[in-house]
Amino acid sequence: MSGHTAIVTGGSRGIGRAIVNRLAADGANVVTCGRGPRPDDLPEPIVWVQADVSGTADAAGLIEAAKTAFGPVSLLVNNAGVQVEKTVAESDDSDWDLIMNVNCRGVFNMCRAALADMSKHGGNIINIGSISGMVADPSMALYNASKAFVHGLTRSIAVDHGPKVRCNAIRPGWIMTEMAEDGFALARDPDKAMADALSRHPVGRFGEPDDIAKMVAWLASDESAYVTGACFTVDGGMTAASPLNPGLF
């Protein structure tokens, strides 16, 4: 990635921060963003832009900031996302606006802004989806739907903008971040729910943010040059299993 300009949205913590750190370690010039001020522990020379990607102007401004700092953007990683722990019946208009603005419109805005240049000089887009876009987590209706949108948009970009631009998605499973902890907290017995979920992972552990960052590093490299329009499940084998709990056998 030496000499490449990379944007990672939502890089203040969790999976986003792990991706930022990995790309920087691989030699990329990295720009990241969030809706708040620059985190105190964000290492230099990573550029921070305070931006809300759900806003068209902010998305375009992020692309321009990266170009000004380092040159044309060759890699975009759409990681920024939010979740609301509600069913359809419990969700209101404000829940819809929050989830769809960030998880759907934000990804769309960033892709559209990046493609204006990438369609000319080439580029690579990696969207962070979720296994929740394939199998529905309980009480996560809008989040589940938003990640299915990300997967569909990924395929469309690959088809419409190749061969100049490659576009793929990663579908993380249970990666131990604050969002995952919030999901387990919905259960009547969170500790029991977590133990049950762990027993369903053939690899014997939950994921770490670095597991996703490693997949991003591969998709960002020339070693994946023949890969586009794909959605990669990175979940420790959890969704490969039948509904029978292997821990009971």
What are the tens digits of pLDDT across the range 208-237?
999 999 999 999 999 999 999 999 999 999
Domain, as residue range, for 165:
5-248
**Arithmetic mean of pLDDT, 129-138:** 95
* Six-digit token string for 46: 């990573």
Count of all residues that appear for the chain in the document = 249
What is this structure's pTM?
0.94
Q: What are the CA-CA distances from residue 164 to residues 121, 156, 230 (Å)?
A: 7, 14, 16
CATH no. for residue 52? 3.40.50.720
Beta bridge pairs of residue 171: 233
Give the count of domains, the chain: 1
Amino acid letter at 185?
A
What are the tens digits of pLDDT across the range 72-117?
999 999 999 999 999 999 999 999 999 999 999 999 999 999 999 9
Nearest to 171 by CA among 108, 240, 78, 233: 233
For 23-90, what is the HEC assignment? Answer: HHHCCCEEEEEECCCCCCCCCCCCEEEECCCCCHHHHHHHHHHHHHHHCCCCEEEECCCCCCCCCCCC
Query: What is the rounded CA–CA span in Å between residue 30 and residue 184?
Result: 32
Q: Active-site residue numbers?
A: 143
Inter-residue contact 78 to 65 (CB < 8 Å):
no
